[in-house]
Amino acid sequence: MNFTLKVWRQKNAKTKGHFETYQVSNISPDTSFLEMLDILNDQLISEGNDPVAVNKGCKNSGPIAFDHDCREGICGMCSLYINGHPHGPDSLVTTCQLHMRKFKDGDTITIEPWRSAGFPVIKDLVVNRGAFDQILQAGGFISVNTGGAPDANATPIAKDKADESMDAAACVGCGACVATCKNGSAMLFVSARVSSLALLPQGKIEGARRAKAMVAKMDELGFGACTNTQMCQMECPKGITISHIARLNREFLCAKLKD
């Protein structure tokens, strides 16, 4: 398979970015999207080291910087905007789980970083998602006794609540919800983190403080407000739903009423 790639190149957060066009060929349909970018980077490195290519005026800005780690859909680092969709055209997968068979031979693929004031560009396709870490830090910890493992029936939790909590905890913090939201809202991320604990007895002790602190930090870091367009849940690679946003709103309002 052959592709034309329009890739966003930006030296750093202070410089103006632009698109550059590249050609890749003989790509297997079973190649993952990140592996395809690895192949392109090998090609760019080879061209940069080739005196003949340089003498011919071959334009080369060096290898493309992009984030990745586990490549198993767990870490959430592979944050790429592909043809107008966070993580690409496939559903319920991260970029590292996207394969080139989802595209047609000869396609032009546009690759961009997340577009959000809360996620400034570091270089090329890499953005600073440290704001999510600050929101998590604002949420703090839960008060549970350490020591031996408690008996399985010591803290009974209804299965539906446990399942819903685990669904919320599946959030990998990739930022696709922010990137696809017209307001740049982080409500789906924050609500998933709050909801995963609000549904469990262990998370109720600091529940009111957590909801207020995380919402306040989200606002402080410049993320927008939620207007329930539902784009976030449509693009979330883990299928997190906006029902968790409703729970966050309840937790926040109850905390304010207690104050």
Q: Report the percent of the chain where pLDDT is more than 90.
A: 78
Domain extents in the chain: 3-122, 130-258
Backbone angles phi, psi at 227, to 5 degrees: -120, 20
- The CATH number of the structural domain formed by 130-258 is 1.10.1060.10
The answer to whether residue 50 scores a pLDDT higher than 90 is no
Distance between terminal CA atoms of the chain? 61
| Band (240; pLDDT cuts 50, 70, 90) | very high
Q: Tokens standing for 75?
A: 């870490």
Q: Which amino acid is at 16?
A: K
| Band (49; pLDDT cuts 50, 70, 90) | low
**pLDDT at residue number 144:** 73
Q: List pLDDT tens digits, range 152-193.
A: 667 788 889 999 999 999 999 999 999 999 999 999 999 999
Other CB atoms within 10 A of residue 58 CB: 12
Q: Specify the CATH superfamily of domain 3-122.
A: Beta-grasp domain (3.10.20.30)
The answer to whether residue 9 scores a pLDDT higher than 50 is yes
Beta bridge partner(s), residue 3: 24
The answer to whether residue 56 scores a pLDDT higher than 80 is no
Backbone angles phi, psi at 199, to 5 degrees: -85, -10
Closest-CA residue to 5 (of 66, 51, 48): 66
Q: Tokens standing for 82?
A: 């592909």
- Over residues 37-58, the mean pLDDT reads 72
Beta bridge partner(s), residue 5: 22, 109
